[in-house]
Amino acid sequence: MVKVRRTTKETMVDIELEMNGQRNIQVDTGIGFFDHMITSLAFWAGWDLTLRCKGDLHVDTHHTVEDVGILLGQAFNKAMLNEKRIERIAYAFSPLDEALSRIVVDLCNRPYCLFDANFSEEKVGDFETSMASHFFHSFATEARITLQVHSLFGENAHHMIESMFKGLGLALRRALSSRSGGVASTKGVL
């Protein structure tokens, strides 16, 4: 179990993460749709996750989404440090009705994020759709992974974003699956 906290003048975030969990998930960021997305990510990844964030939502959702991405990435990185014999590279195609996303991850210790999606809606509930990209970039940077998120099809922004978060959970779970042999790198280290 990894426990992390981040306190700034804009947010206070607390996370407890167990990557080999039973899907016991409690998320409260004050942004209903974002809670739903983080819950979906944790469910499909197979995590136990408790995440609480008090943010300056009277300003907008930016600081909350960014700081949750930063801290969840840091928690993931800490939890992953003990994983030596993993697949490392994985992908997932994730549908939700008319939406389809492709998520590719490399748990390589080299942070990079490519995000390719266009939304016809500016908001889903109180969540600005532009914050989806910001979350994935923040998470990938702090998790120290390479992450590519591609929206292949979709009209409804809710469906498109949810398929991305589900796909990330699936890809992370697959990348962390056990493999025989040593570290999955020609260098011998990640």
What's the pLDDT score for residue 80? 87
d(CA 24, CA 46): 9
Instruction: Report whether 34 contacts 52 (CB < 8 A).
Output: no
DSSP 107: -
Q: How confident is the model at residue 190 (pLDDT cuts 50, 70, 90)?
A: low
pLDDT at 42: 98
Q: What band does 154 get if pLDDT is binned at 50, 70 and 90?
A: very high
- Measured CA to CA, the distance from residue 172 to residue 87 in angstroms comes to 10
Enter the pTM of the model: 0.94
**What pLDDT, on the 0 to 100 scale, is given for residue 178?**
79
pLDDT at 91: 98
Q: Which CATH number fits domain 2-175: 3.20.20.140, 2.40.50.1020, 3.30.230.40, 3.30.930.10?
A: 3.30.230.40
User: How far, in Å, CA of 97 to CA of 150, rounded?
Assistant: 16
Name the DSSP letter for residue 178.
B
pLDDT digits (tens, 9 = 90+) for 20-79: 999 999 999 999 999 999 999 999 999 999 999 999 999 999 999 999 999 999 999 999
Cα–Cα distance between 81 and 84 in angstroms, integer?
8
What percent of the chain is predicted at pLDDT more than 70?
92
Using alpha carbons, select from 150, 144, 154, 126 the residue that is nearest to residue 37.
126
Mean pLDDT, residues 87-95: 96
Residue with tokens 């939304």: 119
